[in-house]
Structure 1
Amino acid sequence: MRQVATEAGVAVMTVTYTYTRPERVAAATRTRVLDRSNRPPGATCLGADLRRYA
C-alpha cells in the first residue's frame, strides 16, 4: 500500500479509504489510486502484505 500511495501522491490512509470507505475519497483521487493499484475496488485482505511473510 505504501508503494501505491507514493505513486499516487497520497497518504497510505487514503489508499485504505479508497477500498474500505470510498465515499471519504474524492473521485479524482480514488481514480488515481485505483489506476496505480493492481487490486480491483472490491479486493479483500488489504492489510495482508505477502512480502512480510515470504
Structure 2
Amino acid sequence: MSTPSSKREVILGVDTHLDIHMGVLISSTGKLLGELPMETNTAGYQKLLKWAQSFGQLN
C-alpha cells in the first residue's frame, strides 16, 4: 500500500454489514490505497474518518 499523504484527493467507500463495516480508500486514479474494518459504532466511525483523512482530502 502507498504511504499516506495529506496533499492528494482520496475517495472513501464503505461496504456495510450488521456488526462490521469495511472501509476502502482509492486514489483519484482508482488505485487501492488501503482497507480498514471497523465496528458499527461511534468509535468505529471516528476511527474510519481519522484513518481516511490521514491519506488526503476526502472526495
Comparing both chains, which one has the higher relative contact order based on Cα–Cα distances under 8 Å and sequence gaps of 6 or more?
2
With the length of structure 2 as denominator, give the TM-score of the two structures: 0.27
Higher helix share: 1
Higher strand share: 2
With the length of structure 1 as denominator, give the TM-score of the two structures: 0.28
